């Protein structure tokens, strides 16, 4: 029985060995230096793949690797990164094939980074037996789901507004959740003011900021209601660095206004700050699950 290794490749490559939904030792981070925190953005795709391979080898420490899960910020289809708006050079890369070639006897799974967060939450909170959905609020907006399914999707781009002027999403689509909630979109809307200041102004009673904070919450409630109307009720987590702006009570109130049919009620949104470690655990758990049929 070899090692199960999880990787998160977003701003940096974060790698950890996972046993029974726990990290064994500390995660490895590449590049290590905080000053180079954004280095992956400027790195060619082949170098990113090589960096992942090297860090996995170092983490394994000579032991065989039985399962390797890698979370990337984009749409993944059969191991190929089909779209990666926040790490553009990965688009079209067959990361699954590259890593399978490097680790021929390993179960390799490449998945969306938000799906790794959902799996990590499920694994670390003892919820592997149920549906777990998570919104990750950062530069973009991710939507992750556990159990993992091969269907591709980008829930962060759910349409939550029919106003044609809502066009700030990084993908260019109009009315998107990310165009309202994404960090980049908020800075565009407020002409480079930091979202911290906007939410602070909202608390102080500034009318425009207050209206935006309300829209921001309603957008997330709307996208959650859509997921409930398609997939049924359940637990939703809100994670990512901008989860700090969430007023959970307000969000649950708004959700209650949007879901009225009794069999679909009973969902709950919970703010749960998670670190890279949770995503690393989720990536490993998903890849390990892929080894055992059924």
* Assigned token pair, 247: 């007023």
| Least CB distance to Zn ion at residue 67 (A) | 32
* Assigned token pair, 288: 């390990």
Q: How many CB atoms lie within 10 A of CB 135?
A: 29
Query: What is the distance between the alpha carbons of residues 198 and 84, in angstroms, rounded to a whole number?
Result: 28
Which residue lies nearer to Zn ion by CB, 131 or 171?
171
Under a CB-based contact definition with an 8 Å cutoff, are residues 255 and 269 in contact?
Answer: yes
Under a CB-based contact definition with an 8 Å cutoff, are residues 39 and 30 in contact?
Answer: no
Query: What is the distance between the alpha carbons of residues 67 and 268, in angstroms, rounded to a whole number?
Result: 33
SS3 category, 44: coil
**Interface mask (CB under 5 A) for Zn ion, residues 105-144, using x and -?**
----------------------------------------
| Least CB distance to Zn ion at residue 188 (A) | 13
Residue 177 found at the interface with Zn ion (CB under 5 A): no
Phi–psi pair at 77, nearest 5 degrees: -125, 115
The C-alpha angle with vertex 183 and arms to 194 and 196, in degrees rounded to 5, equals 30
Which residue lies nearer to Zn ion by CB, 97 or 171?
171
Under a CB-based contact definition with an 8 Å cutoff, are residues 68 and 5 in contact?
Answer: yes
Which residue lies nearer to Zn ion by CB, 128 or 171?
171
Distances (CA, A) of 18 to 31, 67, 69, 257, 283: 21, 10, 11, 41, 9
Residue 233 found at the interface with Zn ion (CB under 5 A): no
- In the set 173, 174, 248, 250, which binds Zn ion (CB under 5 A)? 173
| Least CB distance to Zn ion at residue 289 (A) | 30
User: Taking contact as CB under 5 A, which single stretch among the options 28-36, 129-137, 150-158, 280-288 is the one that binds Zn ion?
Assistant: 150-158
| Least CB distance to Zn ion at residue 169 (A) | 3
Residue 75 found at the interface with Zn ion (CB under 5 A): no
User: Taking contact as CB under 5 A, which single stretch among the options 8-16, 37-45, 54-62, 163-171 is the one that binds Zn ion?
Assistant: 163-171
User: Taking contact as CB under 5 A, which single stretch among the options 89-97, 137-145, 175-183, 205-213 is the one that binds Zn ion?
Assistant: 175-183
**Site of tokens 């207050």:** 210
User: Taking contact as CB under 5 A, which single stretch among the options 132-140, 154-162, 225-233, 281-289 is the one that binds Zn ion?
Assistant: 154-162
| Least CB distance to Zn ion at residue 93 (A) | 21
Residue 171 found at the interface with Zn ion (CB under 5 A): yes
Pairing of strands 65-72, 80-83: unpaired
Which residue lies nearer to Zn ion by CB, 28 or 157?
157
- In the set 157, 189, 217, 235, which binds Zn ion (CB under 5 A)? 157
Query: What is the distance between the alpha carbons of residues 233 and 193, in angstroms, rounded to a whole number?
Result: 36
- In the set 3, 28, 176, 217, which binds Zn ion (CB under 5 A)? 176
Which residue lies nearer to Zn ion by CB, 75 or 290?
75
| Cis amide prior to 236 (ω within 30 degrees) | no
Residues that bind Zn ion (CB under 5 A): 157, 169, 171, 173, 176, 178
């Amino acid at each position: 029985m070899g090692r199960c290794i999880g990787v998160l490749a977003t701003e940096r490559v974060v790698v950890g060995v996972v046993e029974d939904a726990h990290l064994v030792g500390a995660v490895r981070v590449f590049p290590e230096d905080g000053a180079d925190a954004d280095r992956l953005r400027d790195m060619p795709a082949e170098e990113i793949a090589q960096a992942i391979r090297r860090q996995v080898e170092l983490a394994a420490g000579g032991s065989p690797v039985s399962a390797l899960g890698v979370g990337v910020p984009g749409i993944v289809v059969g191991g190929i990164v089909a779209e990666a708006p926040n790490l553009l050079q990965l688009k079209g890369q067959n990361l699954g094939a590259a890593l399978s070639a490097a680790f021929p006897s390993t179960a390799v799974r490449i998945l969306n980074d938000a799906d790794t967060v959902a799996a990590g939450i499920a694994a670390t909170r003892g919820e592997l037996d149920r549906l777990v959905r998570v919104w990750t609020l950062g530069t973009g907006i991710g939507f992750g789901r556990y159990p993992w399914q091969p269907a591709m999707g980008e829930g962060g781009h759910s349409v939550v507004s029919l106003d044609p002027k809502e066009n700030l999403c990084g993908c260019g689509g109009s009315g998107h959740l990310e165009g309202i909630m994404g960090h980049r979109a908020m800075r565009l809307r407020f002409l480079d003011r930091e979202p911290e200041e906007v939410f602070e102004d909202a608390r102080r009673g500034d009318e425009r900021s207050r209206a935006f904070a309300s829209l921001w919450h309603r957008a997330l409630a709307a996208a959650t209601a859509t997921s409930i109307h398609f997939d049924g009720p359940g637990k939703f987590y809100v994670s990512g660095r901008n989860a700090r702006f969430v007023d959970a009570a307000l969000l649950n109130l708004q959700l209650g206004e949007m879901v009225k049919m009794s069999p679909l009620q009973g969902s709950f949104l919970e703010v749960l700050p998670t670190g890279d470690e949770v995503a690393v655990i989720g990536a490993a758990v998903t890849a390990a699950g892929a080894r055992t049929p059924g």
